[in-house]
Amino acid sequence: MLQEILSALVAVATLPNLLIMVAGIWGGVIVGAIPGMTGTMAVTLALPFTFYMAPVPSILLLVALYKGSTYGGSVSAILIKTPGTASAACTALDGYPLAQQGKAGKALNMALYSSVTGDFISNLSLIFFAAPLAVLALHIGPPEFFMLMLFALTTVAGVSGSSLLLGLVSAALGLLLATVGEDMYGSFRFAFTPDMQAGLSIAPVLIGLFALPELIKLVVMRATKEEEAAKLGQQHVTREEFMGSLKSILKGSVIGSVLGAIPGIGPSSAAFFSYGEAQRSSKNGANFGKGELEGIAASESANNGACGATMIPLLALGVPGDVITGVMLGAFMIQGLTPGPLLFQTNIHEVYMLLIGMLVSSVLLFFAGKITMRMFAKVSHIPQTLLTPLVLLLCVFGIYSIASSPFDVAVLLVMGVVGFAMFLLNIPAAPFLIAFILGPMLEENLRRALAISRGDLSVLLSSPITWLFAALIAFVLFITVRREVQKLKTERRVEQ
């Protein structure tokens, strides 16, 4: 094993790989720092470029973009009170008051230290837990996989958007779209044109769904905000300040690692949970929301702490926990690698390279953040009216270059309109994408399970593992419905 780790380390520590990771981190921070641009957008826009790269560097690029954008979200949250990404919303609560006190640089530094610590701990959790989970997963068959994927879909549907019902509708739409093309026995489904016989490619669907609606919103609604950015001011975080926040950083990192590993939870929920926990347990709890460094530490350690952990279900089970890991699953498949338990047997060298690369990228995040903090601070001023059309251009060129197919460009544009319609109807897009990616595997496992059992549906509840996932699905449905009922009651009370 040590030999394999060393050989993976040597393979990762090449100049091109390091440059790719640095470029990914910088690119991610820049995109994350621009309000309205998200980590999902950064990862999806980079996807076409990964077609021409070797498997591991391509995944490392996407991971670096993910980490960079999660940290980058804190830049605009602190400087202009506009979180670049949803996971940085809590950072704005204390970051902006600090910026107003002339301590923006200090807040950005604390965000960086916490992000790097959370990220590193999260990567360690990935290294320690992914392989054992993959070994366990080797013993499960089609019914168990079907129930596992159903659990992942239910969780994503439950936590995305404001309503479980709309999350499930979104997932159903994604499952339906995934059936377009040839099925496992050679029948063509919904092949309205000859191009559709091969099915819809992942890249145009997900890029269209997540990158283009922002452009359509900008053109149709034109709701752009001009915010005055704070100066960096005081920058140095003292040893006492860091040690005072260390407990919250460590706690946030663990919260991020645990919640990140559960499909559907992701960095945003982890950041909110960690912030609340730090506020409850800190002796400075009363200062939270007024410019408390510990608040930034709790939020940033948790949101970056979730980044590595979201890869645990992806690598070990082949189940993406959120949209970004969904995109990464697409990237794995494009590269001919199938995440899941067999990956640890057939491509162990690549797995080790990926894990080591993720640890290295944590260190790179620190240096990249430190060196270019001033530059990133300027990024949040770029007008969206210029940037968003550039995103469209990148999407169109990127998608065409993948398969030289004008049909894919048309799919991209249509999916942009679908994403916009879903936005107007308040239907969340994340379950759609996860369902679109998981759909073929979900159907294949169900059909295999039914074929094995001669059409007997009770095969889906035939083992302790299937019962466990059924219980987890029921639990997720129960707590989501209970949360919504409580929200409804509160609304009615306020109305009265």
Partner 1 sequence: MPKPVLRGLIIVAFFALTAFILVPAYVPRPAFIPGFAPPPDMWPRTVSLAGIALGVLALLFAVSRPHPEEAPIETDGSSRARMVGRFAGLMLAFVLFLVAIPLLGFLVSTMLLTLCIVLMTGERGHRIWIALIAFGAPILLQLFFHSALGTQFPKGVLTRPFGF
**Residues at the contact surface with partner 1, assessed by CB under 8 A:** 52, 162, 165-166, 168-169, 172-173, 175-176, 179, 183, 185-192, 215-216, 218-223, 383-386, 388-390, 392-394, 396-397, 400-401, 404, 406, 409-410, 413, 417, 424-427, 443, 446-447, 450-451, 453-455, 488, 491, 495
Q: Which residue shows structure tokens 């919504």?
A: 484
Residue 179 or 287 having the CB closest to partner 1: 179
Contact 298, 251 (CB under 8 A): yes
Contact 207, 412 (CB under 8 A): yes
Residue 1 or 223 having the CB closest to partner 1: 223
Q: How far is the CB of 449 from partner 1 (least distance, A)?
A: 10
Q: How far is the CB of 217 from partner 1 (least distance, A)?
A: 9
Q: What are the strands, taking DSSP E only, across 256-325?
A: none
Other CB atoms within 10 Å distance of the CB of residue 453: 15
The Cα–Cα gap between 270 and 253 comes to 9
Task: Give whole-number Cα distances, 425 to 166, 171, 410, 428, 429, in Å.
Answer: 9, 15, 23, 9, 11
Q: How far is the CB of 401 from partner 1 (least distance, A)?
A: 4
Q: How far is the CB of 96 from partner 1 (least distance, A)?
A: 20
Burial 227-262 (b: 16+ CB within 10 A, else e): eebbebeeeebeeebbebbbebbbbbbbbbbbbbbb
Residue 183 or 227 having the CB closest to partner 1: 183
Q: In sequence order, which ranges of 323-347 are alpha helices (DSSP H)?
A: 323-334, 343-346
> Which two three-digit tokens encode residue 301?
């350690």
Mapped onto helix, strand or coil, the DSSP state of residue 284 is coil
Q: How far is the CB of 439 from partner 1 (least distance, A)?
A: 9
> Which two three-digit tokens encode residue 399?
């998608």
Residue 238 or 385 having the CB closest to partner 1: 385
> Which two three-digit tokens encode residue 32?
């994350």
Residue 82 or 114 having the CB closest to partner 1: 82
The Cα–Cα gap between 254 and 252 comes to 5
Residue 132 or 383 having the CB closest to partner 1: 383
Residue 37 or 259 having the CB closest to partner 1: 37
> Which two three-digit tokens encode residue 111?
């965000």
Q: How far is the CB of 170 from partner 1 (least distance, A)?
A: 10
Q: How far is the CB of 384 from partner 1 (least distance, A)?
A: 8
